[in-house]
Structure 1
Amino acid sequence: MTRDLPVLVVDGTRFSDLDGFAREFSRLLNGYTWRGNLDALNDVLRGGFGTPDGGWILRWLASETSRAALGHAETARRLERLLPGVDPSNRASFEARLDAARRGEGPTLFDEIVAIVREHGPGGSEAADGILLELS
């Protein structure tokens, strides 16, 4: 039953950008600091990086505040920081994503983070990790 699962709480009023979200999320982890890399977030959610074993609930308070903070502007800022390291074979599609974010279009960081977490819960490709996301 879900009420028996540990609950880890992210407070959306405690950050205003991806770096702040990384700090807020890292405070939930026992002995590990996540630095905001989305690939690494997948690893953290798989376990072994300070999260409870056997499934848990991620309760995201003030998620609408986070949706704004991790919206298109912050998405564009992140993509701009990553652009210098993009492989030339991926540069055109990466720049198209960046241009879309600058126009306020396409998935945001909030959307990406939520999608990653949901992959580790019911119906996701990594559902065995047993993570339940509650947005409030």
Structure 2
Amino acid sequence: MTATYVIEGREVTSLERFWQVIGEAVNGPGGYFGTNLDAFADCLSGGFGTPDDADFIIEWRDHDASRRSLGYAETIRQLQLRRDRTHPANRTAVQARLDRAAAGQGPTVFDWLIEIIETKAPGRLHLD
């Protein structure tokens, strides 16, 4: 039997909120399903927090609301946080991504999440 994990798009107002929403959708109240992009990818591909049922669907309802919330403003915020925490050797690359996002170019946080899901769990994402 296929398990369906529902993300209510209007509840996703930031990347931090996405971690809460997906964690609770998959593992119940207070549940974990990653708190950063790498951990999320690990969960999707069989790491800690992965559902017991290997056959699952992620149904992202009202994904356009999430797309707006996880657009360029959130991408800029996340890249600023990343730039400030990253090793000095990596700051130039992060700053270049930040500059592109500030110009309304390149992938957004929403795009990052979609790419991870499609890469690690192909065919399991349903956008409604």
TM-score band w.r.t. shorter chain? 0.7 to 0.9
| Residue identity in the other structure for 1:41 | F
Is 1:73–1:104's contact at 8 Å kept on the other side of the alignment?
A: no
Answer yes or no: is 1:135 the counterpart of 2:119: no
Say whether 1:22 aligns with 2:19: yes
Letter in 2 for 1:135: L
Is 2:4 the partner of 1:12?
no
Shift >3 Å, 4+ stretches: none
C-alpha distance in structure 2 between counterparts of 1:53 and 1:119, whole Å: 19
Structure 1 residues 34-64: Cα deviation after superposition (integer angstroms, max 9, x where no partner)? 4531011011112341424322100000011
In structure 1, C-alpha distance between the alignment counterparts of 2:64 and 2:52, rounded to whole Å? 26
Partner of 1:40: 39
Q: Equivalent residues in 2 for 1:17-96 (5 A)?
A: 17-30=14-27, 32-34=31-33, 36-47=35-46, 48-96=48-96
Greater mean deviation of Cα atoms: 111-120 or 49-58: 49-58
Q: For 2:57 and 2:34, how far apart are their aligned partners in 1? A: 21
Give, as a single letter, the amino acid of the residue that structure 1 aligns with 2:107. Answer: P
TM normalised by structure 2 equals 0.88
Contact preservation (8 Å) 2:8, 2:60: yes
Q: How much is the aligned-residue C-alpha RMSD, in angstroms?
A: 1.7
Structure 1: state its 5+ residue gaps. Answer: 123-130
Instruction: Pick closer, same or farther for the CA change 1:46–1:35 going to 2, 3 Å.
Output: closer
Identity of aligned residues (%): 34
**Matched letter for residue 105 of structure 1:** Q
Counterpart-to-counterpart distance in 2, 1:73 and 1:52: 35
- Structure 1 length-normalised TM: 0.83
Q: Shift of residue 20 of structure 1?
A: 1.4
SS at match of 1:58: strand
Report if aligned partners of 1:45, 1:117 keep a CA contact under 8 Å in 2.
yes
Give 2:7's aligned amino acid. V
Aligned length: 125
Q: Does the Cα contact within 8 Å between 2:41 and 2:116 map onto a contact in 1?
A: yes
